[in-house]
Chains A and B, each alone.
Chain A
Amino acid sequence: MWRFAGKRALAALLVLFAISVMVFLIFFATPGADPAARIAGRNASQETLDQVRVSFGLDKPIYVQYFVMMRHLLIDRDLTSFVNRGAKVIPQIQAAVPVTLSLVIGAAVLWMILGVTMGVVATAKRGTAVDPIIMVLGVIGISLPVYWLGEVINLVTQSRLHDSIFAWVPPLGYVPMSDGLGRWALSLFWPWVTLAVLYSGIYARVLRSEMVASMNEDYIRMARAKGISESRVLIRHALRTSLIVIVSLFGLDFGALIGGAALLTEVVFGLQGIGKLTYDSLQNFDLPVILGCVLYAAFFVVLANFIVDLVYAWLDPRVRNV
């Protein structure tokens, strides 16, 4: 198990390194524009451009540029935004993290409950009308554009029905948990729902197809022949073996969302999370912030991958000794 974990950790580090190189290349080595101009932001003065050239070693070979960049980001931690003068990158990211974490964790709880329930019920009721209805609901959830759903929810809860049914919905924006748990949850309720609609559809469909496949396995027939109840066959045998796939999917999605993939939801609901930060800095061409955000995101995705591998080994005894 320890060797397994060590090997995976090493692979994760390699991937992280590769990602940092890739991001670096996207911004420093794609043809078409001067990297100094990109870093300094739009309409930068000649003075700023010169400063950037020196600070990032842009007259040196490209691999030196990479190391200079990484030193600014990781060792000196003094990478500053040029668009937004004086704003350091790392504190900005630190401020955005709790927002994204609140959004993603709440949504994840919601979609896991919803998705697993839908998947299990659809499996149990296959052959009846319930199963296809749940599956079509799942497809619709997957097919709704997230940002559009968010806008429509805003339209209904902030405008059309705000004076009647949805009077309890607070204005858009994030309320920190320190202002009270209830207010925090209220401010995030609709963002949670919006994200959960998409993911519970995916999870319900994946789980159902996994469970239906495992329902045809010999061990399910054996479990029935043992005389255990049908619900126990469904939960302890079919669901338990299908969970392996769900958990690995969950790890990847969760990592990606923490890393900023929830940006559409954040933009639509005005939440200042990592995704929004990345998006804003992209709009302003604030390259230092973009780099910081993307590396942060990649770190979480890789970390999630790593944890998934470990949980996978814990869930599935067969891969433990590999």
Chain B
Amino acid sequence: MGSLVVLILIVAACVAAPLYANNIAHVDAFASNVQGTYTLNGVTGPVLVNSTEGLGLGVTPIGPTWNFSTYFLGADNQGRDVFARILYGGRNSLLIGFVSAVLCCMLAGLVGVVAGYFGKGVDAVLSRALDVLWAFPVYLLAICLSVVLINTTLTIGPWTLTSGSLLLPILIIGIIYVPYVARPIRGQVMSLREREFVQAAVGAGAKDSRLLRRELLPNVLPTLIVFLPLMTAINMLTESALSFLSIGVQPPDASWGTIINDGVGLLYTRPMVAIAPGIILAITAVALNLLGDGVRDALDPKARLRGSL
């Protein structure tokens, strides 16, 4: 339950990002603020000063101020408030993670149930297709798709995907993990198919549609629900990795991955820019994983592992 509370707090904080930026910190998280000033404890100073070393580029003097209303976690190399950016970035990270997990579970549920239920030729085709996807290292597949698609505008029927749209990472991440969920679902459906209560329904002359809807779906649904928080965690990590490689969320949008990427260049001078989003991402992922464990134990008491959390 603790994990759920942590999650709700993180989600609430990210949803409230504009509130924080406009009313508490009074910053614009997306506009560079190279010429700006800040006031801390009555002392005013520039956000960015020229460096006397190297190429003489600007450096930010403010690291974490630990003052909640003024550059709490410091500023990045464009003078933007890192904490506000983390809150805004969290919206994208959470959104992409969750929506792609829902998409993934729905697709996987569909593929798994159809393959497991109809068997034979349908199963052979779908299973081979899953094998092919499975044989691809996920990151490579995601990267291939991202690189090809990220800067193009796609038109599929009535839908248009503009470049830099958040839908693109959602779709890519949602699809690449389908085999991970679809395989166990297929196995489950195949064993359910042999169980007495399904056989009884078949014997009673139930139609395919009724069997799928009334007998199989209710049994598969808990598995999918267990997968949902786990996939959300994995997808958020994948999104951040893609964004870190600059092929996920595109600027001016931010996500935890892009902020870490921004921070890599500042690693030795302003480590907080890279460290903070990583920590919050890790905490979110831990909470989601523990939530997944909890949901599994709640839905399937038999699988409850003694002494687990």
A–B contact via C-beta, under 8 angstroms:
yes
Q: Mark A20-61, 1 if CB is under 8 A from B, else 0.
A: 001100110011110000100000000000000000000000
Q: Are B137 and A261 in contact (CB under 8 A)?
A: yes
Contacting residues, chain B, for A142 (C-beta < 8 A) = 233, 285, 289
Q: Are A155 and B282 in contact (CB under 8 A)?
A: no
Interface residues of B in 254-309 (CB under 8 A from A): 257, 260, 263-264, 267-268, 271, 274-275, 278, 281-286, 288-290, 305-309
The stretch among B20-28, B49-57, B112-120, B139-147 that forms the contact with chain A is: B139-147
Residue contacts A-B, CB under 8 angstroms, 15 given: A15-B131, A18-B131, A19-B135, A23-B144, A30-B148, A143-B288, A146-B241, A151-B267, A152-B278, A154-B267, A155-B268, A267-B245, A275-B139, A279-B143, A282-B147
Q: Are B144 and A264 in contact (CB under 8 A)?
A: no
Give me the 10 closest cross-chain CB pairs, A-B, nearest first: A143-B285, A32-B152, A148-B278, A261-B137, A256-B137, A126-B307, A143-B286, A18-B132, A282-B147, A301-B135
Chain A residue nearest to B306 in the complex (CB): A126
Chain A residue nearest to B260 in the complex (CB): A148
User: Least Cβ distance of A157 to chain B in Å?
Assistant: 12
The stretch among A127-135, A167-175, A227-235, A237-245 that forms the contact with chain B is: A127-135
A15-B135, A148-B275 known; 16 other A-B pairs, CB under 8 Å?
A15-B132, A31-B152, A32-B148, A127-B307, A139-B290, A143-B281, A143-B288, A144-B285, A147-B244, A147-B260, A151-B267, A209-B305, A261-B137, A263-B140, A275-B139, A301-B136
Q: How many residues of B contact A (CB 8 A)?
A: 51
In the complex, whether B128 has a CB less than 8 A from a CB of chain A is: yes
Q: Are A145 and B245 in contact (CB under 8 A)?
A: no
Contacting residues, chain B, for A297 (C-beta < 8 A) = 136-137, 140
User: Least Cβ distance of B215 to chain A in Å?
Assistant: 26
Contacting residues, chain A, for B148 (C-beta < 8 A) = 26-27, 30, 32-33, 38
Chain B residue nearest to A138 in the complex (CB): B289
Q: Are A145 and B278 in contact (CB under 8 A)?
A: yes
A159 to B268, CA, bound (A): 7
A288 to B281, CA, bound (A): 35
A154 to B308, CA, bound (A): 34
Q: Mark B243-254, 1 if CB is under 8 A from A, else 0.
A: 011010000000
In the complex, whether B149 has a CB less than 8 A from a CB of chain A is: yes
In the complex, whether B155 has a CB less than 8 A from a CB of chain A is: yes
Q: Are A278 and B237 in contact (CB under 8 A)?
A: no
Q: Mark A249-280, 1 if CB is under 8 A from B, else 0.
A: 00010001101110110010000000100110
Contacting residues, chain B, for A18 (C-beta < 8 A) = 128, 131-132
In the complex, whether B240 has a CB less than 8 A from a CB of chain A is: yes
Contacting residues, chain A, for B257 (C-beta < 8 A) = 145
A259 to B147, CA, bound (A): 18
For the complex, would chain B's binding face be called helix, strand, loop or mixed by DSSP majority? Answer: helix
Contacting residues, chain A, for B4 (C-beta < 8 A) = none
In the complex, whether B122 has a CB less than 8 A from a CB of chain A is: no
In the complex, whether A307 has a CB less than 8 A from a CB of chain B is: no
In the complex, whether B190 has a CB less than 8 A from a CB of chain A is: no
Contacting residues, chain B, for A16 (C-beta < 8 A) = 135
Interfacial residues, chain A to chain B (CB-CB below 8 A): 11, 14-16, 18-19, 22-23, 26-27, 30-33, 38, 126-128, 131-132, 135-136, 139-140, 142-149, 151-152, 154-155, 159, 208-209, 212, 252, 256-257, 259-261, 263-264, 267, 275, 278-279, 282, 285, 290, 293-294, 297-298, 301-302, 305
Q: Are A151 and B268 in contact (CB under 8 A)?
A: no
User: Least Cβ distance of B269 to chain A in Å?
Assistant: 10
Contacting residues, chain B, for A260 (C-beta < 8 A) = 137, 139-140
Say yes or no: A259-B137 contact (C-beta < 8 A), given A31-B154, A136-B309, A147-B244.
yes
A281 to B240, CA, bound (A): 20
In the complex, whether B220 has a CB less than 8 A from a CB of chain A is: no
In the complex, whether B153 has a CB less than 8 A from a CB of chain A is: yes
A22 to B175, CA, bound (A): 14
Say yes or no: A135-B268 contact (C-beta < 8 A), given A22-B132, A31-B154.
no
Q: Are B128 and A14 in contact (CB under 8 A)?
A: yes
User: Least Cβ distance of A207 to chain B in Å?
Assistant: 12
In the complex, whether B106 has a CB less than 8 A from a CB of chain A is: no
Q: Are B241 and A132 in contact (CB under 8 A)?
A: no
Q: Are B309 and A148 in contact (CB under 8 A)?
A: no
Contacting residues, chain B, for A256 (C-beta < 8 A) = 137-138
Contacting residues, chain A, for B307 (C-beta < 8 A) = 126-128, 131-132
Contacting residues, chain B, for A19 (C-beta < 8 A) = 132, 135-136
Contacting residues, chain A, for B138 (C-beta < 8 A) = 256, 261
Chain B residue nearest to A215 in the complex (CB): B306
Say yes or no: A305-B135 contact (C-beta < 8 A), given A151-B274, A209-B305.
yes
Q: Are B140 and A261 in contact (CB under 8 A)?
A: yes
Q: Are A279 and B245 in contact (CB under 8 A)?
A: yes
User: Least Cβ distance of B164 to chain A in Å?
Assistant: 14
Q: Are A140 and B132 in contact (CB under 8 A)?
A: no
Q: Are B308 and A148 in contact (CB under 8 A)?
A: no
User: Least Cβ distance of B306 to chain A in Å?
Assistant: 6
A208 to B303, CA, bound (A): 13
Chain B residue nearest to A158 in the complex (CB): B268
Say yes or no: A301-B137 contact (C-beta < 8 A), given A26-B148, A143-B285.
yes
User: Least Cβ distance of B182 to chain A in Å?
Assistant: 15
Q: Are B241 and A264 in contact (CB under 8 A)?
A: yes
A298 to B283, CA, bound (A): 33
Contact residue among B132, B147, B237, B275 (Cβ-Cβ distance under 8 Å from A152): B275
Interface centre among A31, A126, A143, A256 (most CB of B within 10 A): A143
Q: Are A145 and B144 in contact (CB under 8 A)?
A: no
Chain A residue nearest to B234 in the complex (CB): A142
A142 to B289, CA, bound (A): 9
Say yes or no: A33-B152 contact (C-beta < 8 A), given A26-B144, A132-B309, A136-B309.
yes
